[in-house]
Amino acid sequence: MKKHLTFLLIFIASAAISGCGSLPTYVAYEGDRLPSSSEAHILGNKDTSHEVLNGLNDNVLIACVNGKSAQGPVLTTSKYKYPFDAALTPGRNYIGTFYAHLGTYALGSLWFDAKAGHTYKIEHNVKDKMIFFWIVDLAENKIVGGGTSTEPRDSAAENNCDANIKRIKEVAAMPRIITIYR
């Protein structure tokens, strides 16, 4: 009995410690991982300034890439549902963003043309109860792409993240059933 209790305590402690991490890089293509010079990399915003009250952190996570959810596995020890970064193939890519701060959230759907070997960052600005997202090419220090509503119609694709973001918004807006026991 004592062995089982010791094992259980070690398991719980290791799960709690590993639960402080985030999900690994989301790889948005099939097959083996490409060398960094052949893929593009996009970063969200991982704010770690408040370690204890992490709801105060200003985070932008990647909810969707090219029409596919980037959500981590249901049984994960990560405290985040979505990753902070993704590996992409060069060319047109679609990114769904999930912003979280102080118990509020915002969602966005963006597009951009990625170049091999480049790293991109999802930037954001909160102003007058609105949030704006854009993508910056860190190698060239310039804004690329935009919101999916601004994508040139001649190149618009069906694999953007609009439907995925809409589904996340609907699930997040669902009323929660709370039972109070007396």
Residue 125: half-sphere exposure toward Cβ, Cα within 13 Å = 5
- 117 φψ region: left (φ > 0), alpha (ψ -120 to 50), beta (else): left
**Local structure of 107: helix, strand or coil:** strand
65, pLDDT greater than 90 = yes
- Position 101 scores a pLDDT of 76
Give the model confidence (pLDDT) of 129-177 as tens digits: 788 999 999 999 999 999 888 887 665 567 788 888 888 888 777 665 5
16-30, 55-69, 131-145: which has the minimum mean pLDDT?
Answer: 16-30
- Position 13 scores a pLDDT of 40
Structure tokens at 16: 């709690």
Q: What is the rounded average pLDDT of the residues 72-97?
A: 83
Residue 9: half-sphere exposure toward Cβ, Cα within 13 Å = 6
73-77, 110-114, 129-133: which has the minimum mean pLDDT?
Answer: 73-77
Q: What is the rounded average pLDDT of the residues 34-48?
A: 89
Q: Distance (Å, rounded) from C-alpha 145 to C-alpha 153?
A: 13
Q: What is the rounded average pLDDT of the residues 42-63?
A: 74
109, pLDDT greater than 80 = yes
Mean pLDDT of the chain: 78
69-73, 107-111, 131-135: which has the minimum mean pLDDT?
Answer: 69-73
- Position 135 scores a pLDDT of 96
